Amino acid sequence: MTEIFKNIPEIKFEGKNSENPLAFKYYDADRVIMGKKMSEHLPFAMAWWHNLCAGGTDMFGRDTADKSFGAEKGTMEHAKAKVDAGFEFMKKLGIKYFCFHDVDLVPEADDIKETNRRLDEISDYILEKMQGTDIKCLWGTANMFGNPRFMNGAGSTNSVDVYAFAAAQVKKALDLTVKLGGRGYVFWGGREGYETLLNTDVKFEQENIARLMHMAVDYGRSIGFKGDFYIEPKPKEPMKHQYDFDAATAIGFLKQYGLDKDFKLNIEANHATLAGHTFQHDLRISAINGMLGSIDANQGDTLLGWDTDEFPFNVYEATLCMYEVLKNGGLTGGFNFDSKNRRPSYTMEDMFYAYILGMDTFALGLIKAAEMIEDGRIDKFVEEKYASWNSELGQKIRNKETTLEELFHYAEKLGAPELPGSGRQELLEGVMNNILFK
Ligand code: XLS
Ligand code: CA
Ligand code: CA
């Protein structure tokens, strides 16, 4: 096998004083943090699409990066070259998982039968590559937003034929996910939404999406898929309004349609901020509902109103993310870098620098989040903040043993409550800084 990333060695941990750009400064796979190896806390995944397919094309210009990997684009040789490149890339970085859309793997043919034949061929090739390695699939998905047929949505489309095509893609993508041993299956509803309510029957569309998801669960379980299904919330882009707006909306939808036992959420940092939330907010909302499943680990630019999918470097955000993940007892999924190099970072070295940055940022976030928990000052404050609820009255309310009238009489007797106590935000932010920079 010819080496593709010729000047890139295996990336090793060298520690924070290293100035070697091709070394980890914080990600030390075997280092134990709170009883678990870093590599177990952080099951990192490579996103097939950004890393192996995307060359930097944007609305104003064509590719800057050459992702041909020595083969002619649009051929099965190219599809295989991407597999070769992907496995070499993951091995050199010590990444154990990948995520894919069906159409990332092979060029889509005019007829679905031919596309599926190509998918069988490439998945056999991927399986071969997986042998003798500990690389696995984190999750698979079907791209139901790129082809023009999905202009009005997939599960939410007005066309029953397009709906059937979407269902066929989901079936095949589930087959592939199971074949490659995937931990999860993602629904990102990129075109499941609307531009104007003047032409949209929202209730009808949402019921049809739910039906598609139910069929996916039934089929998945019938072929032995034991993992989680995920919804990946995103509020907008490409549609003006997407039904899976944020974690809370997606959870409401899953509960409304009886899908909450089989589905969890795949939270993407940049999508949370597009919804006007912090990343931490959507993680917390998912976690308290028992639905924090997996993470797309990128970062947006809040000065821009669109999905920039940048590699994460913000250690504050990564720390608060890992704080939520540790409190959640980890993830059943992992951390997929749904991130892309900036357009001018077009060389092969840049692909490695980007993943090193992302992996180091989350490793540092993990170290610092564990320190925050072990330090205990923040937890202690939160416990004390709610201490009044330990009173007899507090317990009665929590145990659903009070009435409005009883509380009315209690309030009358009291006359006026004392102020509830300082929120100490600045103090706590100082504690976090103190831990981050000590
Ligand atoms: C796009 C989404 C997409 C999903 C998978 O914004 O992040 O990449 O993760 O379809
Ligand atoms: Ca995104
Ligand atoms: Ca994503």
DSSP 205-225: HHHHHHHHHHHHHHHHHHTT-
pLDDT at 217: 99
Q: Which domains are present in the chain?
A: 30-375 (3.20.20.150), 389-437 (no CATH)
Neighbouring residues of 195: CB distance < 8 A, sequence distance ≥ 6 = 239, 240, 241
Alpha carbon distance 132, 262 (integer Å): 32
pLDDT at 376: 98
Nearest residue by C-alpha to atom 4 in ligand 1: 188
Compute, in angstroms, the gap from residue 22 CA to the centroid of ligand 2. Answer: 26
Please give the number of the atom of ligand 1 that sits closest to the Cα of 268. Answer: 7
pLDDT tens for 115-143 read 999 999 999 999 999 999 999 999 999 99
Mean pLDDT of 16-22: 98
- Both structure tokens of 6: 């010729």
Q: State CA 372 to chain mean position distance.
A: 24
Please give the number of the atom of ligand 1 that sits closest to the Cα of 143. Answer: 10
> What proportion of the chain, given as a percentage, has pLDDT over 90?
99
pLDDT at 64: 98
Neighbouring residues of 320: CB distance < 8 A, sequence distance ≥ 6 = 278, 279, 280, 365, 369
Q: Does residue 264 carry a pLDDT above 80?
A: yes
Alpha carbon distance 243, 251 (integer Å): 11
Neighbours of ion ligand 3 (CB under 5 A): 268, 296, 338
Does residue 234 line the site of ligand 1, with CB under 6 A?
yes
Does residue 230 line the site of ligand 1, with CB under 6 A?
no
Q: Reduced to 3 states, what is the DSSP secondary structure of residue 389? A: helix
Mean pLDDT of 218-234: 98
Please give the number of the atom of ligand 1 that sits closest to the Cα of 296. Answer: 9
Active-site residue set: 101, 104
pLDDT averaged over the chain? Answer: 98
Judge contact between 231 and 185, C-beta under 8 A: no
Residue in the block written with tokens 């684009």: 73
pLDDT at 26: 98
- Both structure tokens of 166: 């979407």
Q: Would the CA dihedral through 310, 311, 315, 319 be positive or negative?
A: positive
Angle in degrees, CA 76, 80, 83, rounded to 5: 145
Three-state secondary structure of 267-300: EEHHHHHHCCCCHHHHHHHHHHCCCEEEEECCEC
Q: Does residue 1 carry a pLDDT above 90?
A: no
CA distances (Å), 100 to each of 53, 105, 177, 340, in order? 11, 7, 9, 14
Does residue 268 line the site of ligand 1, with CB under 6 A?
yes
275: left (phi over 0), alpha (psi -120 to 50) or beta: alpha
Judge contact between 156 and 144, C-beta under 8 A: no
pLDDT at 98: 99
Whether the full predicted model's pTM is greater than 0.85, yes or no, is: yes
